[in-house]
Amino acid sequence: MSLLCEVPDPSRRAVLMTGGALFAWAYMPRLARAADNRDPRLIVIVLRGALDGLSAVGPVGDPDYAGLHGDIALSLTGPHAALPLDGFFALNPSMPVFARLFKNSQAAVVHAAATGYRDRSHFDGQDVLESGFAGPGHVATGWLNRALENLPSGDRVATLGGLAVGPSTPLVIRGAAPVLGWAPQSLPAPSDGFAARVLDLYQHRDTVLAVALQKGLDADRMALDDQMGAKAMKPKGGPDSAAGMRQAAQGAAKLMAADDGPRIAALAFDGWDTHVNEGGATGRLATLLGGLDGAFEEFEKGLGERWKDTAIVVITEFGRTAQINGTVGTDHGTGTVVLLAGGAIKGGRVIADWPGLKPAQLYEQRDLAPTSDVRAVLKGLLADQFGLSAGTLGDKVFPESAAVKPMQGLVA
């Protein structure tokens, strides 16, 4: 079962949370923490459109990089100098927060990564990325939901369910495990059809939770009544804007920081298909990367002490061509980057078996060749954060992927 409702923007949400809203989590029984006092969280951010990994994290030490990527290649010199990560890779200058986290060993990069998909269609590539299956056409459930579903019965993370942030539930978190949907826009009246259906469901299946839910809806109604006549706060931007990314992260962090809030979340940011006027250190891509950087900052601030047990992973359907096109952009490619951040991450490193950028080293003589499987990264995080076994990951979470081994040592 997937739960999806719209709730207020983060600032108004803070008021309603105080009153016990958001499906009455404030009324639900407190759950004991793990014996080791770890309280792990995992946040998955999907960048839709295909991120140019070579302009996000540039291999400035590769002698072929500048010539291939042309005007949008990063450089360690000039007015918009890239931020060095090590002696070979440098970060887009629009991401100072990620650079700080990297320096503090709370962020890492997996470069030259891709799923097993190679046909460069956005729709099919996103299906593969989010479903966790080897090929397209599987759109019923996502790997993150199946991870929740395969946690042990009664597990705290599974009991609290997942969080889907955005106007619709991303495929990656759709499935049988319970998921709350949150979007940074006005809350529909508590008496709307959806709320009534959810309440009816719990009245038939769980009367205790039904009572708690009714209290939460009543609190929402009172808060909304108090604000009648006041000008509603409008969303700051869509999921393809820098402000929208920040706002989505801010709201998600508030919910996930709660003792009884979800421990797993999925967000999707649009707009990364940069065929025309992509820009490098400045311009369109830099603006988007700055929004993503702002999202990292909002999660770090909003999660507070929970940050230390949090892992954030940023993934995209595929990369972009190594060589710029005639419109100063890049076309659909293959290898790209996976970004990792959070207090739980064993950071301060770029993980890469670098393939090189000479013509014979490129995939089909056009793309960064992938040397790491995105699924290996995701499996490693799920294993380290939640204890899922390699067998479960290879059979149930990412079906028929036993040959792809979990990447070790991603979590500190």
Whole-number Å distance between alpha carbons of 296 and 43: 11
Give the mean pLDDT of 145-159. Answer: 93
Cα distances from 43 to residues 28, 74, 142, 300, 306, in angstroms, run 23, 28, 14, 12, 12
Chain mean pLDDT for the chain: 85
Closest alpha carbon to 44 in 252, 235, 236: 252
Task: Name the least confident of 196-200, 303-307, 330-334.
Answer: 196-200
Under 8 Å between Cβ of 374 and 134: no
Does 223 or 355 have the greater pLDDT score?
Answer: 355
Does 201 or 84 have the greater pLDDT score?
Answer: 84
409, pLDDT greater than 60? yes
16, pLDDT greater than 60? no
Summarize pLDDT for 92-131 with one digit per residue, the tens: 999 999 999 999 999 999 999 999 999 999 999 999 999 9
- pLDDT of amino acid 84: 98
- pLDDT of amino acid 153: 82
Give the mean pLDDT of 370-393. Answer: 98
Does 235 or 355 have the greater pLDDT score?
Answer: 355
Is residue 17 classed as helix, strand or coil in its secondary structure? helix
Sign for the CA dihedral angle at 276, 280, 283, 286 comes to positive
What is the maximum span of the chain, computed from C-alpha positions, in angstroms?
Answer: 66
- pLDDT of amino acid 38: 85
Whole-number Å distance between alpha carbons of 167 and 244: 12
Give the mean pLDDT of 303-329. Answer: 98
Interstrand relation of 41-47 and 310-316 (parallel, antiparallel or unpaired): parallel
Token pair 């507070």 is found at 304
Whole-number Å distance between alpha carbons of 261 and 254: 9
- pLDDT of amino acid 308: 98
pTM over 0.85: no
- pLDDT of amino acid 124: 96
Q: Please, which pLDDT band fits residue 25 given cuts at 50, 70 and 90?
A: very low
Summarize pLDDT for 179-234 with one digit per residue, the tens: 999 988 633 333 344 444 444 444 444 445 545 555 554 454 444 444 433 333 34
Give the mean pLDDT of 7-15. Answer: 35
Summarize pLDDT for 53-80 with one digit per residue, the tens: 999 999 999 999 999 999 999 999 999 9
Under 8 Å between Cβ of 114 and 353: no
- pLDDT of amino acid 37: 77
33, pLDDT greater than 70? no
311, pLDDT greater than 60? yes
Whole-number Å distance between alpha carbons of 222 and 21: 10
Any residues with CB less than 8 A from the CB of 29 and at least 6 apart, and which?
none
236, pLDDT greater than 50? yes
Sign for the CA dihedral angle at 373, 57, 103, 93 comes to negative
- pLDDT of amino acid 408: 97
6, pLDDT greater than 90? no
Q: Please, which pLDDT band fits residue 154 given cuts at 50, 70 and 90?
A: confident
Give the mean pLDDT of 261-280. Answer: 97
